[in-house]
Structure 1
């Protein structure tokens, strides 16, 4: 894997704080404006209004954002997507892998830290709030993305580990306002626009 991909999957630093003190709700959001993309493929403002007064950690509502798109090579791109919570220690990350050659994409929900890493958390309960994509990939997980990876390969590896996956994005975002959806092929227009023309 290249240094860029490794950087893309880098972890984060957690300060000591009780997980019980966290607010597990998602922020109140105005979805009147459409999803806003930047030149690097990152985006903000996607999602659907949440039930603000309920615990929504394990649902798919609320605000979504995407970090900059990473070019893996040979028509493949990757991106980290995140759901936004009021609690800074709640992490719901999704690995978006897109094959611009075929126009196929897959999104895999991150997973819990492996047991050998639990000691790095000042509060053991913090680990229970994390679903991070860095634990999906080597050296912790089986999903190693490369310039020859296929969506079917990622699906097989994720399914074998019982990771949650999304391949039908129209269905996944069916109840989201159209202006507030994200396009899993958007990064192709940045790195492989010629492949999008072929697809069309």
Structure 2
């Protein structure tokens, strides 16, 4: 289907790249054995290289991952060495944890004003969800933060904001999350593989 679309759009002369996150990363790692990509990026995925017989013709590969996920980190480190030994250009971008600030949610989520952001930060600090430096103590999915904000009489202007708050906390914790924070680095890496 991809080849059909490329032909239909008359794009055969353009370099082809792929990015896949999580299960999409596993898919892209296999798809790269069938299509001639100039480079691929696997985000929060180590690929299925233990099941593939890859050769030096395999495309340049960039792993974007969160090293706090030790199992995935070890697999990526192993594949980096194996792929380099086969002459494949590989690299990694490590997505590290970062601290929350009182303005964090207002800066990152449309619909949360600065005053609400400060209230959320204060509740998370009071409940011990973040340490004295603002770093998450655990994954946002594992904390009873929704109960904490209810107990703190914090009402979100829209209930759907809860999902965004949790995703931002997960991202700050840096365990297993898709992120756009490194988009420019990924695009720069693709750009460096145009020729």
TM over 0.5: no
* Pair member with larger Rg: 2
- Report the TM-score, using the length of structure 1 for normalisation: 0.23
Instruction: Pick 1 or 2: higher relative contact order, CA cutoff 8 A, min separation 6.
Output: 1
Report the structure, 1 or 2, having the larger helix content.
2
- Report the TM-score, using the length of structure 2 for normalisation: 0.23
Report the structure, 1 or 2, having the larger strand content.
1
